Amino acid sequence: MSNETRRYRPIAKANMASLREIMENQALPAAEIDTDFRLIWANKSGRKLIGVSNDTIEEGITLNQFVPKEYRDLTNRALMRIAQDNAAPSLSLRVIRPNGVNIPVEASAQRIIDDGSLVGFLLYAVDMSQWEHKTLDTPNSNLLELVVEYSPSGIVVLDENYTFEYVNARLCNILGRTRAEIIGHDFREFLHPDSITLVSDRYARRQRGEDVPTTYEFKIVREDGTIRDVEITSATMKDEDNSIRTVAQILDITGKKQSEQALYESERRYRSLVEGMVSGLGMDDADGQIVYANQALASMLGYSLDDLLGMNGADILHGHSRDDEIERKRRRRQGEIDHYEADLLRADGDLLPVLISASPLHGSDGEYLGSVAIFTDISELKEKEAEARFLLDLLLHDIGNQLQLIIAGTGFCDPETHPDMVDEGRQYVLDGAKRCLEIISKIRQSETGKSTSSPTVDFSSIVVSQVNILRNQYDVEVELDGFEQEIPLVADKAVSSLVWNLLENAVKHNPHKNKKIWVEGFREGSTFVFKIADNGIGMKEEGKKELFELGRQFGGVGLYLVRRLAAKYGAHLSVCDRIKGNPGEGLEVSIRFKSAKQMLK
């Protein structure tokens, strides 16, 4: 365990045969390796030390196979130094036998030369484990020296001038240098620039007797330039001459730090993924209390994250009792995964339809810890389903009525029926067929209303055109106001269907003989208001609220199309009495369009 660097004369390759014979039965383990670090020969003690036979050597074995990974760089560098300048530093390391047993050794080497060229190395090793066994009966100081020297932690002793006085084998390995490259050097030479100020300051303050942390982390730079994270635990002691020395234990925590960083990055990526999800995600504990929720779930429910945490899962599910949740928890404890539809109860009392996929969470011991669930908003899907059902109902209702008219008309077409009745029957058939085609056309227009394309149109010319058509087809008086000039509106050709369906609805559901309609348009702030009023029988308040609601069959496809187109253009629909306080005097429908400038934004 000498700290000195010895120099040995190189050995001629021609002398190795006789040297092998001499050393074969010597107690000192010896071995020969070539420049590729392949084992060429080992004496009896050497073979015993590394646990191999001559046959194994002949089959092929390298130095790295019996030197642990953490010592390989240090060993290879020491041999390279010997190859360059004949220096033979004593090296404390371990060798590993095939059975996995680690043996502490103190090793040195000589060059083997052939015609002036390096061809290999002769290695010598002292089995320190044997020395340890032999010294168990010696004073405790010798045993303590062995414990320190081969400790799994780096052990150092520093004098008052920042200089290394002692380092053990593990510290050499941590720094990636031989003992000779460390002893007598200022420890600041091995510090990373970012750590010099911290470590130097604490060293100096500790030397002065000040209270500083005994354990902390910093960085060192190995001989090959790699940076390692270490943790030091240090203390000071006084020698007999009252000189102060620092004794420290140093642990290489690079792997630990890398694992911590990898865990942090994994958690960060996971959190980013979860927080960026469109779907809501929540976790509850074994008692059903919500312990985690992402922002998407909080937004779905209209709660803040702080308010949501701690709530019971049953409290956010509409129509699910605690008993229902208990049954679900029972199944999840058994490992079952749930997929089901439910309505979430929002903070404002509204319901949000969702698809829930819930899985159980178990600990490593199998204990049930709770569950994790993903909540997918299916409100748009449910709306589409409702629309599909509504359109189907409309087709069955409206076209069914027209088919009854056609069937009735065919009854008048019997050859024995009076010609006037036959003509009337034919007209029934034609009117019914025409109405069926109109219904189909309006349904197609409702699909066109889903388009997001909104070019600018002259709303004034569209309204005037539709009013003129209405006057020609129906016996109705129309009073038009506010459409004398061009009115640019961000819409498309389908807006004419919106206007026509409101006009036609105002006529068809007016039982009075002298029908009259008022059509008005005017600008109000940043909006354009379009009004259609009639002198019909009016409508009760409940009916006004439901007039444009999905599922109402009164008005058929026409009013459904109006609602769809108004939503497309971002317009607001409202219904009121034509004369306030007199519902029997007719109805007024208003559509408040956003200005073209607003829509373009």
- How far is the C-alpha of 471 from the C-alpha of 500, rounded, in Å? 12
| Residue 351: inside a domain | yes
366 and 242 fall within a common domain? no
Which residues contact residue 4 at a Cβ distance below 8 angstroms, ignoring those fewer than 6 apart? Answer: 90, 180
467 and 590 fall within a common domain? yes
Q: Which two tokens stand for residue 521?
A: 């348009």
| Residue 145: inside a domain | no
Give the length of the chain: 601
Q: Which two tokens stand for residue 243?
A: 């000189």
Helix, strand, or coil (residue 398): helix
Plot region of 551 (φ>0 → left; ψ -120 to 50 → alpha; else → beta): left
Here the CATH number for the domain that contains residue 525 is 3.30.565.10
Here the CATH number for the domain that contains residue 87 is 3.30.450.20
Helix, strand, or coil (residue 313): helix
Answer with the one of 226, 257, 288 that is the final residue of a domain: 257
| Residue 52: inside a domain | yes
Count of C-beta atoms within a 10 Å radius of residue 392:
10
Cα-Cα-Cα-Cα torsion 53, 54, 56, 57, nearest 10 degrees, comes to: 130
Which residues contact residue 353 at a Cβ distance below 8 angstroms, ignoring those fewer than 6 apart? Answer: 341, 342, 343, 344, 377, 378, 379, 381, 382
Instruction: Please check whether residue 477 is in contact with residue 514, taking contact to mean a CB–CB distance below 8 angstroms.
Output: yes
Which residues contact residue 225 at a Cβ distance below 8 angstroms, ignoring those fewer than 6 apart? Answer: none
188 and 124 fall within a common domain? no
| Residue 306: inside a domain | yes
- Cα–Cα nearest to 372, from 396, 337, 345: 337
- How far is the C-alpha of 394 from the C-alpha of 126, rounded, in Å? 99
| Residue 431 CB-half CA count within 13 A | 13
Bridge partners (DSSP) listed for residue 221? 227
128 and 39 fall within a common domain? yes
pLDDT lower than 50: segments of the chain: 1-5, 132-141, 551, 553, 598-601
201 and 283 fall within a common domain? no
| Residue 360: inside a domain | yes
Which residues contact residue 345 at a Cβ distance below 8 angstroms, ignoring those fewer than 6 apart? Answer: 301, 315, 316, 317, 318, 351
Answer with the one of 134, 164, 198 that is the final residue of a domain: 134
Q: Which two tokens stand for residue 536?
A: 């019909």
pLDDT cut 90: percent of the chain above it: 27
Tracing tokens 């006004």 back to the chain, one arrives at 544
- The packing angle between helices 495-508 and 459-473, to 10°, is 30
- How far is the C-alpha of 121 from the C-alpha of 409, rounded, in Å? 116
CA distances from 242 to 204, 236, 358 (A): 17, 12, 70
Q: Read off the DSSP letter of residue 594.
A: E
Task: Determine which helix (DSSP H) or strand (DSSP E) holds 480, and give its type and residue range.
Answer: strand 476-481
231 and 281 fall within a common domain? no
- How far is the C-alpha of 89 from the C-alpha of 223, rounded, in Å? 16
Task: Determine which helix (DSSP H) or strand (DSSP E) holds 131, and give its type and residue range.
Answer: helix 128-134
- How far is the C-alpha of 57 from the C-alpha of 60, rounded, in Å? 5
Instruction: Please check whether residue 296 is in contact with residue 391, taking contact to mean a CB–CB distance below 8 angstroms.
Output: no
- Rounded (5°) CA angle 321-341-290: 55
454 and 343 fall within a common domain? no
Helix, strand, or coil (residue 260): helix
- Cα–Cα nearest to 555, from 539, 567, 568, 577: 539
| Residue 394: inside a domain | yes
CA distances from 21 to 44, 125, 194, 252, 310 (A): 11, 18, 55, 43, 81
Q: Read off the DSSP letter of residue 399.
A: I
386 and 487 fall within a common domain? no
| Residue 118: inside a domain | yes
114 and 157 fall within a common domain? no
- Cα–Cα nearest to 479, from 430, 424, 521, 433: 521
* pLDDT recorded at residue 443: 65
Instruction: Please check whether residue 299 is in contact with residue 351, taking contact to mean a CB–CB distance below 8 angstroms.
Output: no
| Residue 268: inside a domain | no
pLDDT tens digits, 66-111: 988 878 888 888 888 888 865 555 677 788 888 888 788 888 888 8
- The total of structural domains in the chain comes to 5
- Determine the residue type at 72: R
- Cα–Cα nearest to 346, from 383, 324, 379: 379
Helix, strand, or coil (residue 113): strand
CB-based contacts of 376-385 (< 8 A; 24+ apart in sequence): 376/279, 376/280, 377/278, 377/279, 377/280, 377/300, 377/352, 377/353, 378/341, 378/353, 378/354, 379/352, 379/353, 381/353, 382/353, 383/550
CB-based contacts of 547-556 (< 8 A; 24+ apart in sequence): 547/575, 547/589, 548/573, 548/575, 550/383, 550/386, 550/387, 550/390, 551/386, 551/390, 551/393, 553/393, 553/394, 553/397, 555/505, 555/509, 556/394, 556/397, 556/398, 556/439, 556/442
340 and 408 fall within a common domain? no
Plot region of 359 (φ>0 → left; ψ -120 to 50 → alpha; else → beta): beta
- How far is the C-alpha of 37 from the C-alpha of 67, rounded, in Å? 11
Count of C-beta atoms within a 10 Å radius of residue 138:
9
Domain that holds residue 238: 151-257
Beta strand ranges found along 15-101 (DSSP E)? 30-34, 39-42, 87-89, 91-96
415 and 477 fall within a common domain? no
Bridge partners (DSSP) listed for residue 191? 220
Instruction: Please check whether residue 346 is in contact with residue 301, taking contact to mean a CB–CB distance below 8 angstroms.
Output: yes
CA distances from 271 to 263, 275, 313, 377, 384 (A): 12, 6, 22, 21, 33
Report, in this order, helix, strand and coil percent for the chain, each rounded to 5: 40, 30, 30
* pLDDT recorded at residue 229: 95
Count of C-beta atoms within a 10 Å radius of residue 203:
21
64 and 168 fall within a common domain? no
Bridge partners (DSSP) listed for residue 283? 292, 372
Answer with the one of 134, 160, 195 that is the final residue of a domain: 134
